Amino acid sequence: MPDENELRKLNIDETIYETEVPSSFDKRWAPQDKMLVNAFIPGTIIEIKTSVGAKVREGDILLLLDAMKMYNEITAPVAGTVEVVAVSAGERVEKNQLLVRLK
Amino acid sequence: MSIKHSVNEFLSKVQNLFKGGGDVALEKQKKRGKLNARERVNEILDSDSFLETDLFVEHSSTDFGMDRKKLAGDGVVTGYGKIDNRPVAIFAQDFTVAGGSLGKAHAAKIVKVMDGAGTKKIPLIGINDSGGARIQEGVDSLYGYGEIFLRNTTFSGVIPQLSLILGPCAGGAVYSPALTDFVFVVEKISNMFITGPQVIKTVLGEDVSPEVLGGAKTHTTITGNAHFYAQTEQEAFEQIKRLLSFLPANCLEAPPVHQSSSPMKKITDNIIPDNRRKAYDVINVIHGLVDNSDFMQVHEHYAKNIVVGFARMNGKSVGVVANQPRYLAGVLDVNASDKASRFIRFCDCFGIPLLTLVDTPGYLPGVDQEHAGVIRHGAKLLYSYSEATVPKVTIIMRKAYGGAYIAMCSRHLGASSVIAWPTAEIAVMGAEGAANIVFRKEIAASDNPETTRQKMIQEYEEKFANPYVAASKGYVDILTEPHKTRDIVIKAFEFAGEQDHGNSFRRHGNIPL
């Protein structure tokens, strides 16, 4: 199997080392945006239970997602107003796809 | 009936059984670039050493028309043979017979040869090439898998168990290899997954090829489920033979002793760069230490920031664990900890002494690592080194900082001998980080903070970035130049005994998993 060979700089505890660094290392962690409701699993949208402009409380059901032979209730992670409903009933969604945006 | 007639009848039965799933199925197997089960067994074993058992076993299933189906050997070849004149037990699933599917009789044959291996205390080699459970036999096939898993576990640490994946290995079937000590995979032939691409597509809508999902490269680079990668079946067989040459037949026996021979490549005193920020390949150091520079890496393509594998010193097997400065500066992280811990525990199971080479800046900082549980995984390394009772010799080549210094088989975790090179830096952390903390006030109050910082770093380096502070406290036993290290390591192993933790009353420890 071929090896990566290029040496890059890597900072560990303020010492900078020259070493191989895999590309997966470049992904940086980012805090979760609670206003974005994404699909936690791929599946099919069964029913939209909210609409743009609706005021929701934390825990209100936004839509039903059919995945792994289960209807999953997708709820609002925080209170807010529905700004965007990005999917419609019957639509197939990928993991992490945006479903609803709150403001 | 004459004797001649009986013998002829017997011979024609054998001939039929040797055809496995028949000419068409055998041809298909060949077209896939795969050997058939009996060929594989004969290729692995010393010639003419195979003693096949249970060739005439048949299933007794009657549902779904199974009563009318005869399956040669019930889809698995089992028996005993020799590798380098040492006995092993072996089974090979025959994909040409009902897709190598596992039914009750098939499992019973495997279980019988496993029990044979356990009783005789000889290594077990399993060749997996199977579509999975024989659905027609229902829960009986699940019973079969369970019986195999139970034995994989009860014989773990008693006899070495090796698994070759030479075809599909899906669903529950993956757990037998996963329970064994070493898994071998072959490019374009091996596939392992819990749920295959078809199911993933149907249930989740994700499109993925079998190769990407669970092929040989995936399991040797991403998942770490497999330990050895080969381009061809033949190469995998050679890997098995080579690996077994380092291992004892069981936990009560010592590993085979070979003629001692000098390394092909010698270690010079400048084997590592003097700038501690520069990378180098630790494999060169290992080659310079071990007999004939013969080093067999385990998990070569996985978590490359740590190197583990088998070698010999003075003719005797050792397990080598080394930080790899060439890759991610040799940091410890979740995967490196898992990889090394599994290897250390294997060596300890089978009485193989441990040689540890240290040059690591520490544990990898970052949210990803913390969230991935680096505390829990990193703890495995401490646990397995502390738990190991085999002789443990450690060489500190360069950086040994903080928690990683302790983890890499320090004196404090029970090393038999700790050897350090003059280039060793045994300290709480690197000079840059330490100076920033220790001299924070001086640096902040200075008219020229950067100059002061550099001065403080230098001061810290001179005082602590060396092996002498640790040696003055007896944390390092022996200081030596690189070129003398091999002789000293051989002596250190000679004088190190098996340790006794005095807790044999304990049922077992509880390793963090």
Place domain B3-246 in its CATH homologous superfamily: 2-enoyl-CoA Hydratase; Chain A, domain 1 (3.90.226.10)
Which residue numbers in chain B have pLDDT < 50? Answer: none
Tell me, what's the pLDDT at A4?
A: 54
How many A/B residue pairs have CB atoms within 8 Å? 80
B329 is catalytic: no
- Judge whether A25 lies within some domain: no
Q: How many CB atoms lie within 10 A of CB A5?
A: 7
CA distance B408 to B330: 12
Tell me, what's the pLDDT at B429?
A: 85
CA distance B132 to B195: 11
Helices (H), B19-103: 23-31, 37-44
- A3 has a pLDDT exceeding 80: no
- Judge whether A48 lies within some domain: yes
Tell me, what's the pLDDT at B69?
A: 83
Between chains, do A13 and B401 touch, taking CB under 8 Å as contact? yes
| Total residue length of chain B | 513
Per residue in A51-91, pLDDT (tens digit) is: 999 999 999 999 999 987 789 999 999 999 999 999 999 99
Residues of A in contact with B279 (CB under 8 A): 7, 17-20
The third-level CATH classification (topology) of the domain covering B282-429+466-495 is: 2-enoyl-CoA Hydratase; Chain A, domain 1 (3.90.226)
CA distance B138 to B136: 6
Tell me, what's the pLDDT at B449?
A: 87
Domain ranges of chain B: 3-246, 282-429+466-495, 431-464
Write down the residue that tokens 């381009």 correspond to.
B231
Tell me, what's the pLDDT at A30?
A: 82
CA distance B78 to B114: 10
Q: Provide the number of structural domains found in chain A.
A: 1
Tell me, what's the pLDDT at A102?
A: 94
- Judge whether A72 lies within some domain: yes
- Judge whether A44 lies within some domain: yes
Tell me, what's the pLDDT at A2?
A: 54
Residues of B in contact with A30 (CB under 8 A): none
HEC string of chain A? Answer: CCCCCCCEEEEECCEEEEEECCHHHHCCCCCCCCCEEECCCCEEEEEECCCCCCEECCCCEEEEEEECCEEEEEECCCCEEEEEECCCCCCEECCCCEEEEEC
Between chains, do B328 and A19 touch, taking CB under 8 Å as contact? yes
Strands lying side by side in the sheet with B161-165: B51-53, B76-83, B86-93, B124-128, B161-165, B182-186, B228-230
- Judge whether A27 lies within some domain: no
Which CATH number belongs to the domain containing residue A41 in this structure?
A: 2.40.50.100
Between chains, do A1 and B217 touch, taking CB under 8 Å as contact? yes
- Judge whether A19 lies within some domain: no
- Judge whether A51 lies within some domain: yes
Which of B328, B330, B432 shows the shortest C-beta gap to A14?
B432
Tell me, what's the pLDDT at B64?
A: 87
Beta bridge partners of B77: B92
Domain coverage including residue A55: 36-102
Does B282-429+466-495 match B3-246 at the fold level?
Answer: yes
B402 is catalytic: no
- Judge whether A67 lies within some domain: yes
